[in-house]
Amino acid sequence: MRPEIAVLDIQGQYRVYTEFYRADAAEKTIILVNGSMSTTASFAQTVKNLYPEFNVVCYDQPYAGKSKAHNLHEKMLTKEIEGQILLELIDHFAAEHVLSFSFGGAATLVALAQQPRRIEKAVISSFSPVVNEHMLDYLERGVDYLGSRDGNRVGDLVNSTIGKHLPSLFKRFNYRHVSSLAEHEYGQMHFHISDVLNSDRQCYLNAAKKINVPVLFMNGEWDEYTAAADAKLFAGHVQHSTFSTLQATGHFLDMEHKAACRDSRNALLGFLKPAQHESRPRYQYVQDHHALAI
């Protein structure tokens, strides 16, 4: 399963590294949106869960992963800019579905609020419109460590909070990735978190009101940071919303253990392909040694 790789020009401003997993029998294409500090590698398991039922697109934000060598990093990217990049990629790949993880949900909500004509369904995973006490503590410590560019403390913070339910092997690779980011990446993450702390949280719900396609919100039962109960606040704002709480798993859903991987795949295919979804689907859980991020 080798992707078609391309670096795309986005309106002459950004260069974006993409991976396109083309499945000959697939009728639909889904594009995956990373969380903060993450790269295409963080979706290794998700790609396996969706392919070959779908063509799958992954990409790195201009400041991250294999995109960063192609960009100048002269200014910080807002969630609105990231939402516009996503809209451009949706058009380029003619994607019918989008799936976001964690803070990738912010840019995805911005994009969906523009009502892109191609999109038929969306999945928002490990995201909520509420900054609860657990998330507030995580963000406040994160903005402090990022402000001082202390990569070691950022790595420890991620693994002891949102990543605490990950297998130890994943934690080691996560720490290695997060603690060794480039200067501009820490700056971008500091900007993201500061924006969350200082902006009106109502913006997520205001964007949600404009979404005109069915959306599945998927959260882990043990996730204290983007809690399933908080995510359900979207119910009163997204007209066609459904919710799935994955049992006995935290923030990273399909990466934490085999049952969570199975339940995540079942939830995704049950929502995206309800007519064809088998009650006992085949799936593969592989502990790829990749950085995860948030």
With CA atoms as reference, report the closest residue to 230 among 239, 217, 240: 217
The structure's pTM equals 0.92
pLDDT tens-place string over residues 216-254: 999 999 999 999 999 999 999 999 999 999 999 999 999
Calculate helix-pair angle for 151-160, 183-198, nearest 10 degrees. 50
pLDDT of residue 35 exceeding 60, the answer is yes
Task: Say how far apart CA 255 and CA 270 lie, in whole Å.
Answer: 19
164-189 residue pLDDT tens: 999 999 999 899 999 999 999 999 99
58, two tokens: 């992954």
Beta strands in 129-280 (DSSP E): 215-220, 241-246
Radius of gyration of the chain (CA): 17
Report which of residues 294 and 79 the model is more confident about. Answer: 79
Tell whether omega for the bond before 281 is within 30 degrees of 0, i.e. cis. no
Q: How large a percentage of the chain has pLDDT more than 70?
A: 94
Q: For 142-153, write each residue's pLDDT tens digit.
A: 999 998 999 999
